[in-house]
Amino acid sequence: MAIILGIDPGTTDVGFAVIEVEKNQRNILTYGVIHTTPKISQSEKLVEIMHDLKDILQQNKITHAAIEKLFFSTNLKTGIDVAQSRGVIMAIIAEQGIPIMEYTPLQVKKALCGNWKAEKKQIGRAVQLLFRLDAIPKPDDAADALGIAYLGSMNPALFLK
């Protein structure tokens, strides 16, 4: 059995999802968004993300993590802020000895939708179908994290022992 943490990094909102994989069955244990306080400094946001992520790790027996890579940013400041958030997230996960798998947004779109140019709504719909949910998970960051966790669950290395 594997318990996978999926992370869609950000600064204002960080999407997270925890899924359990056993005998090719994938079940959602929890998902949501780490919200940071508006209008505080970047360093304070990073501390909030750190504390909330540590809580998520303590509440779940994570065996593996999957996180979205930074692929491209048209806004340099936003890209740097997200990179800092991603660094804090990866350090916290690595500190716990949890292996980390990294996927670009294009890899996630292609794996879930079969289309490199899939839009947020298509990702949400794919996640809804893959996990047999009644509705598309909200918000988008949480749906993305579920998709990232699902892609991580497809990694054959999880099942080699």
Tally of CA atoms within 13 A in the half-sphere of 80 that contains its CB: 5
- Which structure tokens are listed for 141? 């960051």
To the query of whether residue 141 is one of the catalytic residues in this protein, the response is: yes
- Which structure tokens are listed for 110? 């292609």
Candidates 13, 68, 81, 144; catalytic one:
68
Distance, in Å, from the CA atom of 92 to the CA atom of 89, rounded to the nearest integer, reads 5
Evaluate whether 146 touches 28 at the Cβ level (below 8 Å).
yes
Judged by DSSP in three states, 161 sits in coil
Candidates 8, 13, 20, 81; catalytic one:
8
- Provide the Cα torsion 105, 111, 116, 122; round to 10°: -90
To the query of whether residue 81 is one of the catalytic residues in this protein, the response is: no
Candidates 13, 20, 81, 141; catalytic one:
141
**Residues assigned a catalytic role:** 8, 68, 141
